[in-house]
Amino acid sequence: MTETLGFIGLGKLGLPIAEKLMEGGFSLRVFNRTAEKATGLVAKGAVAVASPVETAMAGGVVVSIVSDDRALLEVAGDDFCEALGTGIHISMSTVSPVTSRTLAERHARVGGRFVAAPVFGRPEAAAAKKLWICTSGAAASKAAVRPVFDAIGQGVFDFGEDAGAANVVKLAGNFMLTAAIEAMAEASAMAEKNGVARADLLNMLSSTIFNCPIYVNYGKGIVNSQFEPAGFAIPLILKDMHLVQKTASDARAPMPMVNLLVDRYLSMMANGLERYDAVALALGAAEDAGLKWG
């Protein structure tokens, strides 16, 4: 595959992913709405361009990681697809499976290819080349871009040829992640009401029967009130939970807990807590129990 990639989106995950690609030997043509975010990459040899279309080279590869479905559909418009031609668009954004299927069809109309490749991992995991990558799309396309995945992640999981399948997995994972935080938040409130410190509870459980990254890392966040800076900010989580609701509803798969999570996040947004991290769910559970956080 080509050693020059297009890259769109230099947010909290996009920037360290782009840096890892450059460290892996790829040259980048980068676009970000806030152009200043590309300064560090340009200093290392990347080329900053003025539009998403300019990242695309006919027959080449473009990686995108943007905030939501609307942004992705705008980035990958007809002009972008035509510029990329028979090339491959790798979408690492957390979006609806419907959006990925729409883009796969849009690219196919001009002979192009689309691979969904959402990732699991916070920005620090991206910087350490520790992302877990889910993929879906045509087998030949996934094989062609495997060097990209190998440059940024510690493992790749293939979910078949349906372009939207990897996004279903990503939404399911994000739901399970936030449900785990809610469970820890509620358990901590119950423990504190019964005289057991949340630190004692979560330190014990996360080092024994719940000894896995989500409980360990987010448990520490709850114990230490690590609400800022946000690795996974409330507006993005709320967006993801709305996508889970829609995907579940379309499939007629009831998910009662996601409705609770949406209400939690809406409450946080209404109270001006958009800047907080996901672990701030603990604040809502504590308030419900009549506890003062501290």
Sign of CA dihedral 236, 237, 238, 243: positive
What phi and psi, each to the nearest 5 degrees, are found at residue 219?
A: -60, -45
294: exposed, middle or buried (Cβ count in 10 Å: 0-12, 13-18, 19+): exposed
Both structure tokens of 135: 């993929």
- Asked if residue 198 lies in contact with residue 244, where contact means CB atoms within 8 angstroms, the answer is no
| Catalytic choice (170, 193, 246, 292) | 170
Any catalytic annotation for residue 170?
Answer: yes
User: For residue 129, is it left (φ>0), alpha (ψ between -120 and 50) or beta?
Assistant: left
CA-wise closest residue to 84 among 104, 59, 115, 48: 59
**Could you list the active site residues?**
170
